[in-house]
Chain A
Amino acid sequence: MTSHLALTLAQSGSQWIDFNVGLLAERFWANTVDGLAYGSIYALVALGYTLVYGVLRLINFAHSEVFVVGAFGAYFTFVGLGYKPGPTLASGLGPLIANLVLAGAVAMIAAGLIALLLERVAYRPLRRRNAPRLVFLITAIGASFAIQQGFYLWRGANPEPAIRLVRPEAVFDIAGTRITNIQIVVFVASVVLLIVADRFVGQTRLGRGIRAVAQDPDTAALMGVNKERVIMLTFVIGGALAGAAALFYVMMIPQGVLYNGGFLLGIKAFTAAVLGGIGNLRGALLGGLLLGVVENYGQTLFGGEWRDVVAFVLLIGILMVRPTGILGESLGRARV
């Protein structure tokens, strides 16, 4: 701690906010690495918000619950595979990867299905009735409550006992900055998933359908695009990505399997989506990574309790300058 500045307000005489520039300088790269790992999880979840928003102009507030379903899916796969809370079991690399792939698949399927269910039960009847957009928001909130409380009643208020398949070990140690195996896995896998999703929307026939509906639903329908199927597909992709994000999150923070564990993450991911330009796939990636990194710098600089404030200040600051996010909204206009 070389320089430790303190801002004090004369009247109250007590310290309001600390700046710790020295610590930030010392841990700059460690923070960057951490921030990229969390940021890529934000980005994966943000993609779900962005896709649905792009197609339906709807903030899917229940998306954080889709994430929670994914987390429980991954967790119960671990339990089913015979892992137990407590010390991390040492197992061979082959079975470990197989188990992680299985858990990821279960999480993605579970989350994708719940997103689909949400669309069918909560949103489709409203679309049929041509309801105002705010009403979708309220049903989303209702669905969010219902799913959350369902888990609360089933699993209680305590987090599930932590199960950890992989213990974080430093793979690289560059000038005192440790980069762990989990961070690398999470970052690389998320970016790959995001690139695949981007390619899918940009280049496949189904992806063109999504873009067409986003751009002009009525014309798209006239051109033979099945709108309902495109909407279902959007929810499934978004849900599956949230499921993958949930597996990565549980790998990083095994104590995070909890009925309301998706709430804060959901808000952060939505912030990331808006930051990058909601409706814009690459914006979601950029927004997620930026948010992750900046809030990590912020919490080192000001202290952990300021993390969320930093995130929102970043959002507000960027929207003041670029009112539609960094890359602008453009799912409909995406051209590759």
Chain B
Amino acid sequence: MSAEVTTRTQASEGTRQPFGQRVRDWWNSRSRLEQWLMIIPVVVLVYLLPVMNFFPLSTEPWTDYELALFNAARLGLIALGLNVVLGQAGLLDLGYVGFFAVGAYVAAIMTSRDSFLTDPRYSWVVVVPVAIAITMVSGVVIGTPTLRLRGDYLAIVTLGFGEMVRLLADNLEPLRGNRGFQDVGGPPGTYANGSPIFTQGDGKPWYWLTVTFIIVILLLIGNLERSRVGRAWVAIREDEDVAEIMGVPTFRFKVWAFVIGAGIGGLSGVLYAGQVGFVNNQRFDVVTSILFVAAVVLGGSGNKLGVLLGALVISYLPDRFQLAPEYRFLIFGIALIVLMIFRPQGLLGARQRLLARGRQAYQRLVGKPEPVATESALIDSGKGTNA
């Protein structure tokens, strides 16, 4: 696909623009229908990934390939949620893992036999909306006091809240600390022979389920971004004071970003708990939270496809290249530094469409496709002026 792209754009434009920009312009000048026609094969390919368990892709014999894909997809879902908070609204949330934990624990409490509930046998179909609702409420609870703070103060306070979620799981007896909850339930459904579809060892159904969730959320978030809410977020991200003066109710929209992000985090927590089948306090620490942020920033904060790519890099690559397993985190750390030095704006830069009917409007008025930002969304607006 890319070869074709290059030739076409080079032919049509005399001045050389950066490659990424040319791809973007070309893509934006396609009609909606053309875009969809090209997206469909890509989506099919993504769905087929788990059966392509051969040389360049496979992570075996080190880790189960299908589970590795599921983990990457799950991180993608998380990155998508965090992108709403961090990439869209520009709120540095270092405690996002807390929402992930809340989702996982809700699933555990509602389905595990270790739960303190008298009959914890709720169907997964019930668990998902309840877990999302509870994480969204926790988003309001955490967001309301903290979102009055800005910048790095917000970062450390969210980090504190994220840690507190974990510590509560640690310390409160009914949440079982390190002992955890066993046999956390997954989605219902059995094969023809009666064996369950969703098991701990088989990553395929989990992967497909997660990818489906990702696609649904991509559509929902995409629409939200082009609405008034999305424009308000961008305004807050670019300059909160100006946004406030121009009549954007900044606090309310910040809480909204927080809550929507939280809901997606909760959903991925439910998926995680269901697949591992076991939830305890060990997976929800600051390091995990920071890895989430790394996925977003690495991929390109503010760019939905970028953050998915970032998640793939953070989750799949360490699984794939385990030639020296004990060195993989060392290599990972160095790779993060090098990548950030050469691509400070992330693998794909932020792109932002602000208008719901922007495509048609731009074509008609300017005769050019709608311009999108190429730089990262989070450039420092001035030294020493951060609030």
Contact = CB atoms under 8 A, between A and B. Distances in A.
B172 interface: yes
Interface in B296-325: 297-298, 301
A146 B330 contact: yes
Contacts of B329: 145, 148-149, 152
B182 interface: no
A180 to B, nearest CB: 29
Interface stretch (B67-75, B216-224, B333-341): B333-341
Contacts of A216: 383-384
Interface residues of A, number: 60
Given A309-B171, A316-B157, A316-B161, A132 B116 contact: no
Contact of A312 (B150, B153, B161): B161
Contact of B157 (A137, A145, A315): A315
Given A126-B340, A129-B341, A319-B149, A134 B167 contact: no
A323 interface: yes
Interface in A148-205: 148-150, 152-153
A152 B172 CA distance: 32
B5 interface: no
A271 B160 contact: yes
A309 B157 contact: no
A141 B383 contact: no
A215 interface: yes
B160 A145 contact: no
Contact of B333 (A133, A149, A218, A305): A149
A169 to B, nearest CB: 34
A141 B161 contact: no
A138 B291 CA distance: 9
A312 B92 contact: no
A52 B163 CA distance: 24
Interface in A105-153: 121-122, 125-126, 129, 131-135, 137-139, 141-150, 152-153
A305 B330 CA distance: 31
A142 B383 CA distance: 24
Nearest to B86: A134
A120 to B, nearest CB: 12
Interface string A282-314: 000000000000000000000101101100110
A14 B341 contact: no
A267 B344 contact: no
Given A57-B384, A149-B330, A16 B172 contact: yes
Given A145-B332, A274-B153, A319-B153, A139 B341 contact: yes
Given A129-B344, A134-B293, A218-B383, 6 more contacts: A137-B293, A139-B340, A143-B337, A263-B286, A267-B159, A309-B164
14 contacts: A12-B174, A14-B116, A14-B174, A57-B383, A132-B344, A134-B86, A134-B293, A137-B297, A142-B335, A142-B340, A147-B333, A152-B326, A215-B384, A323-B153
